[in-house]
Structure 1
Amino acid sequence: MPKIKIRSLLPAVAAGILFSSAVAGIYYFYNQTTEIAVEKQQKEAEIHAAEAKLKELPELTKEIKQLVTASQKMGIFIPSRENQDEFVRELDGLANQSGIKINSCQVNNKPKYYQDNPAFQVFQWRVELSGSYPGLLLFLKALPEAKRAIKAADLSLKANQPASDDDPKLRYILNIQMTLDLIAMKNQVTEKDTP
C-alpha cells in the first residue's frame, strides 16, 4: 500500500475544515436571521397592538371622565347605612318629577323623637336642591304623597337672577336648602333602617 504523506493531506484537511466552518457559519447566520425575523414580527405585532390601544385612548379618556363625573354625582347620594338608599331614591324620584335637582343629601345619624313621643323616631336629612318656584311647589306638594312620612322642617331659598339683562324672560333659579324629617315608628325601625 502506498504511503500517503501527511504533508499532502494537510491542504485537503485544511480545505475540509474551512468548508465545514463555512457551512457551520452559514447555518448559524441563517438561524440568526430567522430568529431575528421572528422577533421582528413579534415586535411589529406588539407595535400594532399598542397603536390600536393608542387609537382607543381618546375614547377611553372620554369614558373615564364620564364615569368620574357620574361617580361624583352619585357621591352626594351614597348612604352611610343600609336602606337609606331607598329613601334617597324615593327623594330623587320626587325631585325629578317636580323638575328639581338634588345637589347634596346628608343625614344626621342621631335620631330625635317626634313631639316628645318615644314611639316615633325622626331622622333629619339636610338637602340642597336647585330649581324653579313651580318645581319647588310641586316637590313640597309631593312630600305628603311619599311612601314614608316626610315633613319639611326647615326651608331657605335664594334666587339667582339671570346673568343677562337682554334676556326677556326672567327665569329665577332657586338655590334651596331644606331640612327634611323622616318619621318612623321606633319598633318598625331596625338596624338596617337607621341612618
Structure 2
Amino acid sequence: MTKFQQLLAYKAFGYEFVDDELLNLEKKSYFQSLDDLRLNLKTCELCNLSKSRTNTVFSKQLNAKLMIIRLYPNKFEDKSGKVADINSKFKEKLLQYTCLGEDEIYVSYLVKCLCTSKVVDDFIYKCSPYAFDEIEKINPKIIITMGDICSKTILKDKNLPNLEISHGSIFRENKRFILPFFDVDFILSNPSKIEIFNEDLKKIKELL
C-alpha cells in the first residue's frame, strides 16, 4: 500500500490528519498508581473533548485477566461515569467461550472522553498515553482491541491490515496477547459477521 493509499484508508475511518509519528507512541509509565492515573484523567484538559465531558469512565475489575479496549465511552457512560454492560449477547458469548467471571474482565477506552465528532489524530496523541499506562497498571494477560483505530494504535502498527483480514489474529507483546476484533456495534449492524466474531472469541480461552 502506498503512502497516499494509507492516508485515504485512515480518512475512511475518521482521521483528519495522519503522519509517521502516529501510532508510534512509546509506552511509558507516567503515573505512580492507577488511582493517580484516574485522578489526572478527571482533570485532564489536553484536548477539546474535555470541554463537553461530564464524567470520566473507569472499570472496577482491577485484577482482570482480560482487557477490552474500545474507542470511546458512549453517552450513557459519560453521563453516569460507569462502564455500561457490553451488549448482552456479546457478554453471554464472551463469558461462555472464555469461562471467565465478570470480575476478570476490564473494559477501557482509547479515547477517554465521549466523542461526538470524528476521532482525529489529536485525540489519539493526547489520550493514548493514558491507555498504555492503564494497560501496564492492570497488566492483563489478554487484550482485545475493538475496531481498526484501537487495534492499530495499541499494536503500534499503522500498516496492520484492516479487520476484514486481521480480525482474530494473535499478537504477543511483553508476555501478553493482543487480539484485534470487530467492534460490537459493527457486529450488531453486520449480522453476517457474527459467526466470525464468535470464532474469534473462542481463541481467547486457549490463551488463558
TM-score (norm 2): 0.21
Instruction: Tell which has more relative contact order, 1 or 2 (C-alpha 8 A, sep 6+).
Output: 2
TM-score (norm 1): 0.22
Between Structure 1 and Structure 2, the one with more strand by share is: 1
Between Structure 1 and Structure 2, the one with more helix by share is: 1
